[in-house]
């Protein structure tokens, strides 16, 4: 009798826990499915294009730098290969000590469009990157219709700028940015980075889908094109001056002012080698992925619930069933297991969907076959949720070689 009562009590406890988890997860699954259904109708990745005469001198490029000597070389070489649509390429250096200015000056000898300037000391309330971009915007030619912010760790393909401008014109965008093709090398980053990227894919519509409400706009500052007239009207980068995710903050502010903002798939025209290894990826990228500087408290809480439901819970729940084998009659426990197996299936399907957005640095694999660590990245999903949670409750005190005290957030 005692054994029977114990089993009955255990079954009731499992059922109650399962019902509670179902209540938490089920709405998140509906939100995810509503976003995934938009995938087939999204705009395909943009293709490199040859500039046409009407684009002559239409774009001023701004590249912010701070000790980028180890990785800026491919970016400078790629910018040189852009066509006559690029009027000027302004490198805004924050007094680098590693030889970055020398590399820029060497490029300047080959391409007169390059110009090197130093930004002024960082004003109170500003973060370094938006300050450098703002400085570059203020020093750019007023004859350019567009201003393109490019990060030093990117590798733009020939025809990137022309294709980006033409896509913006065709879609009627005032501001448009691109998701890149990620170049990875070490096993740890192959395992962790896709899980961190998935935190963005779960929270936002796929790149290339129709405009969302301003508070849900997504952007990527690694390749960030905006009409000069729009930047002039919104005060340059001042709205994002204190933000550690200045790209999203500025894009959402621009969208809130009634301008059309787009986020497109740029995997065919833009590569990026962001960080070296899993530790650096965890530290540097992980602390800005929460996007708290661009979101309200309610948005942050909603996103944390979504990621907890879709990334934090599925793997532990399935493992729990495998290890403890709770009763699986048609009950909340049975439904919970089925729901989380379904979520893991979606996760692996998404992994296959984003595979074209990755390549190995060494390119030893024929046909760019991705290493098996990439396919193990779903195992890092609970860790990715923990990273976003930690980032959401912490304010960075160090960023790209700069130390910050408490930065006063801009309104």
Q: Is the dihedral of CA 403, 280, 382, 341 positive or negative?
A: positive
Kindly state the tokens that stand for 136. Answer: 């570059």
Task: Provide the mean pLDDT of the chain.
Answer: 90
Q: Higher-confidence residue: 341 or 411?
A: 341
Q: Which helix (H) or strand (E) holds 54?
A: none
CA 354, chain centre distance (Å)? 13
Residue ranges in 126-216 assigned as alpha helix (H): 128-138, 160-171, 187-203
Question: If phi over 0 gives left and psi between -120 and 50 gives alpha, with beta otherwise, what is residue 243?
Answer: beta
Domains within the chain, CATH numbers bracketed: 20-39+297-395 (no CATH), 53-289 (3.90.550.10)
Q: How sure is the predictor about 364, in pLDDT bands with cuts at 50, 70 and 90?
A: low
Q: How sure is the predictor about 7, in pLDDT bands with cuts at 50, 70 and 90?
A: low
- DSSP result, 222-280: TEEEEEHHHHHHTTTTGGGTT-TTHHHHHHHHHHHTT--EEEEE-TTTEEE---SHHHH
pLDDT of residue 111: 96
CA distance 295 to 299: 6
Which of the given ranges, 208-222, 237-251, 286-300, has the highest pLDDT on average?
237-251
Which of the residue ranges 33-42, 296-305, 396-405 would you say has the lowest mean pLDDT? 396-405
pLDDT of residue 411: 43
* Model pLDDT for residues 184-240, shown as the tens digit of each residue: 999 999 999 999 999 999 999 888 887 678 999 999 999 999 999 999 999 999 999
Q: Is residue 52's pLDDT more than 80?
A: yes
Q: How sure is the predictor about 328, in pLDDT bands with cuts at 50, 70 and 90?
A: low
CA distance 172 to 178: 16
Give the 3-state secondary structure of residue 60: strand
Which of the residue ranges 69-73, 324-328, 365-369 would you say has the lowest mean pLDDT? 365-369
CA distance 378 to 370: 15
Q: Contact at 8 Å (CB) between 128 and 402?
A: yes
pLDDT of residue 75: 97
Q: How sure is the predictor about 3, in pLDDT bands with cuts at 50, 70 and 90?
A: very low
């Amino acid at each position: 009798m005692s054994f029977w009562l114990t089993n009955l009590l255990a079954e009731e406890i499992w059922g109650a826990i399962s019902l509670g988890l179902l209540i938490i997860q089920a709405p998140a699954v509906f939100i995810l499915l509503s976003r995934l259904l938009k995938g087939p109708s999204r705009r395909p990745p943009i293709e490199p294009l040859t500039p046409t005469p009407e684009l002559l001198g239409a774009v001023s490029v701004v590249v912010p730098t701070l000790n980028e000597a180890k990785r800026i070389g491919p970016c400078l070489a790629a910018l040189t290969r852009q066509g006559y649509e690029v009027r000027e390429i302004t490198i805004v250096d924050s007094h680098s000590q590693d030889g970055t200015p020398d590399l820029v000056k060497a490029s300047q000898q080959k391409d007169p469009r390059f110009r090197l300037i130093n930004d002024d000391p960082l004003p109170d309330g500003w973060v370094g990157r938006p300050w450098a971009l703002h400085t570059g915007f203020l020093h750019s030619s007023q004859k350019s219709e567009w201003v393109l912010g490019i990060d030093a760790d990117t590798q733009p393909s020939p025809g990137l700028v022309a294709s980006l401008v033409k896509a913006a014109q065709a879609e009627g965008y005032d501001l448009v940015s691109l998701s890149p093709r990620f170049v990875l090398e070490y096993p740890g980053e192959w395992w962790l980075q896709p899980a961190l990227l998935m935190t963005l894919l779960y929270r936002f519509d796929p790149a290339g889908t129709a405009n969302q409400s301003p508070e849900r706009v997504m952007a990527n500052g690694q390749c960030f094109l905006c009409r000069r007239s729009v930047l002039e009207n919104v005060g340059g980068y001042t709205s994002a001056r204190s933000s550690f995710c200045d790209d999203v903050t500025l894009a959402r502010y621009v969208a809130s002012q009634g301008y059309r903002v787009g986020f497109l798939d740029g995997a065919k025209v833009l590569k990026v080698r962001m960080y070296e290894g899993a530790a650096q990826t965890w530290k540097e990228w992980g602390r800005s992925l929460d996007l708290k500087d661009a979101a309200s408290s309610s948005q942050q809480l909603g996103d944390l619930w979504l990621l907890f439901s879709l990334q934090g819970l599925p793997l532990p729940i399935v493992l729990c069933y495998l290890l403890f084998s709770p009763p699986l009659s048609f009950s909340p426990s049975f439904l919970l297991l089925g729901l989380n197996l379904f979520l893991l299936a979606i996760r692996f399907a998404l992994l296959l969907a984003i595979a074209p957005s990755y390549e190995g640095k060494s390119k030893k694999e024929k046909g760019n076959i991705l290493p098996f660590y990439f396919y193990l990245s779903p195992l890092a999903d609970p860790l990715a949720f923990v990273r976003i949670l930690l980032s959401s409750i912490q304010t960075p005190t160090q960023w790209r070689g700069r130390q910050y005290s408490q930065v006063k957030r801009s309104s």
